[in-house]
Structure 1
Amino acid sequence: MPSPCAFTYAIVRSPAPSAVKGIRAGGGPDPDFAGLVAEHEAYVGALRELGLAVDVLEPLDDFPDALFTEDVALTFPEGAILLRPGAPSRAGEVAHIRVPIAAHHRRLLEMTGPGHADGGDILRLADRVIIGLSARTDRPGAEELAGLLAQLGYRAEIADTPPGVLHFKTGCGLIDDRTILAVPALGDCPQFAGLEVVMTPPGEDAAANILRIGDTVLVGDRWPATHALLEARGIAFRALATDQIAHIDAGLSCMSLRW
């Protein structure tokens, strides 16, 4: 299998004004819309500077969380899978991503239910794909998705997401093909067997949602100890603002579909 970090294309969606009312688990203040747009534009700029061709889709005001394109589909060189998001308010987003994905992927598979799966719970490794069970991804959905992944040639394993962690990738991300940055609650995840697991520094659990693009890791700019950790390992990284995105329970991997 190719490296899970070797991307050349991405699909993103611009935030709609309604995004400030996006889903969040713990309440809290709305993000500032201008700040949210600025963070999103900086993110798109970073993807392009790292060599990706990026399609920017129009905002969808009827769907506040639609800028988080990762949750509604999975994209691979071999094909794509349309998912069934676990939040009822997001179900309608799938119809809006179908045509943009089909323009790039000749093979398009689709979950039919009754289970659900969010892309934020899917971690692609060099030799397999981990599907995390969460409030948004249930076992029937994970099992259906595993079958669809097999059709594309990918082996899947199902893991438990710790309580209090929204999505599996809220708590972990790839430093490189064989190394995972994870919150302590995921440190002994059985599905990480054979990989090196590096714990997030104290007080920086929210830094775990990193995104590796080629040889560079994108990381939130508020996490100096995590920056030092990456630097000590000789990992090139780029710090991006995620203050406003964090208000609606999101991070760096959520905002793009990549292949």
Structure 2
Amino acid sequence: MAEYGSASMWGELRRVLVRRPLPEDAAAWEAYGWRDAPRVDAARAEHEAFCALLEEAGTEIVVSEHDPGNPDAIYTYDPTLVGPEGAVLLHPGKDGRRREPEATAPVLEAAGIPVVGRVALPVTVEGGDTVWLDESTLLVGIGYRTSPGAPESLRALFSGVEVIAFDLPHWNGAAEVMHLMSLVSPLDRDLALVYPRIAPTRLMWLLAERGISVVEVPDEEFESMGPNVLALGPRRALALEGNDETRRRMERAGVDVVTYRGDEISRKGDGGPTCLTRPLLRV
């Protein structure tokens, strides 16, 4: 059986990488721009409950404790990108996260996932700005964390893949991250969750051209990470609790939604369920 291959965002999630919150992480919360210091025991409990939901959905979990002292390291979506051939180590735009790709490499290789490429300076790419729309289409957001050279670099690393770039809004500037996945989460081949008010117009055109229906996130649930949900499979989603109207809208579109508590691991660090996971295998 294949151990890796994840060129979609909505296929059945069979294998995923997570990184536990560590006691060493909490002291660096201000340096990494967290909203408040995470309570270590509570964060560990939330993370374990989050992982239990993944396992209940039939997902094998690869657990890491890489890069201690970096609270952002729990957001394993950002330092790598996995495709059919293996993992590509990205180059985060946030200075404090620059160690993460290489720190993740031994974990991936121990799990049987080859490292097949690396993004190098002057290009920066963070995983949160990459979205597999389908097996042959990779969307890339250009902003403060992912540089204009990213699309060309990713085309070279993922042969035969159409890479489509979008400019991201300034929002509140470089100090407050705005990833492409802050705006859109695929839920199925023909369905996506989107916050349309500041989504790139060309992204909305592309979704319409591809026959992808949109579930709209309401204004009041955008900043609480309403658009950031993890597809466990087609029309099956894991979402941060509290965004009740977004959940109801997904359910009306036929999506089965389960929620997790993320006061420590999500709200304090502004990282939702996609951020907390690096999908390794989807089918």
- What is the TM-score with the length of structure 1 in the denominator? 0.90
After superposition, where does 1:213-224 map in structure 2 within 5 Å?
Answer: 213-215=232-234, 216-224=236-244
State which drifts further: 116-125 or 184-193.
Answer: 184-193
Structure 1, unpaired ranges of 5+: none
- What is the TM-score with the length of structure 2 in the denominator? 0.83
Distance 2:106 2:52 in 1: 24
CA shift for structure 1 position 209: 0.3
> Which residue of structure 1 aligns with residue 192 of structure 2?
180
Distance 1:217 1:63 in 2: 28
3-state SS, counterpart of residue 117 of structure 1: coil
Provide the identity percentage: 26
Match of 1:246 among 264, 267, 275: 267
Q: Supply the AA of the counterpart residue of 1:10.
A: V
Match of 1:203 among 191, 198, 220: 220
After superposition, where does 1:1-259 map in structure 2 within 5 Å?
Answer: 3-6=8-11, 7-20=13-26, 21-22=28-29, 28-103=35-110, 104-106=112-114, 108-126=116-134, 127-149=136-158, 151=159, 153-164=160-171, 166-192=178-204, 193=206, 194=209, 195-205=212-222, 206-215=225-234, 216-244=236-264, 245-258=266-279, 259=281
3-state SS, counterpart of residue 250 of structure 1: coil
CA contact 2:182–2:227 (8 Å) conserved in 1: yes
Q: Supply the AA of the counterpart residue of 2:128.
A: G
Distance 2:38 2:76 in 1: 18
Paired residue total: 257
Residues 19-58 of structure 1, C-alpha deviation per residue, up to 9 Å, x if partnerless? 3334788763223322222222122111111111111112
CA contact 1:162–1:185 (8 Å) conserved in 2: no
Q: Supply the AA of the counterpart residue of 1:138.
A: S
CA contact 2:93–2:144 (8 Å) conserved in 1: yes
Structure 2, unpaired ranges of 5+: 1-5, 172-176
Residues 170-214 of structure 1, C-alpha deviation per residue, up to 9 Å, x if partnerless? 222112222221113344531341222222023111210011011
Query: Given the superposition, is the C-alpha separation of residues 27 and 11 from structure 1 closer, same or farther in structure 2, using an over 3 Å criterion?
Result: closer
Distance 1:25 1:178 in 2: 36
CA shift for structure 1 position 65: 1.3
State which drifts further: 41-50 or 177-186.
Answer: 177-186
Residues 122-154 of structure 1, C-alpha deviation per residue, up to 9 Å, x if partnerless? 1111241101112111112343123212x2x32
CA shift for structure 1 position 64: 2.4
Query: Given the superposition, is the C-alpha separation of residues 222 and 70 from structure 1 closer, same or farther in structure 2, using an over 3 Å criterion?
Result: same
CA contact 2:18–2:277 (8 Å) conserved in 1: yes
Query: Given the superposition, is the C-alpha separation of residues 3 and 81 from structure 1 closer, same or farther in structure 2, using an over 3 Å criterion?
Result: closer
Distance 1:166 1:159 in 2: 13
Over aligned residue pairs, what C-alpha RMSD do you find? 2.2
3-state SS, counterpart of residue 254 of structure 1: coil
Residues 206-252 of structure 1, C-alpha deviation per residue, up to 9 Å, x if partnerless? 21001101141011110111111112112111111122222112111
CA contact 1:12–1:257 (8 Å) conserved in 2: yes
Distance 1:166 1:14 in 2: 24
CA shift for structure 1 position 59: 4.9
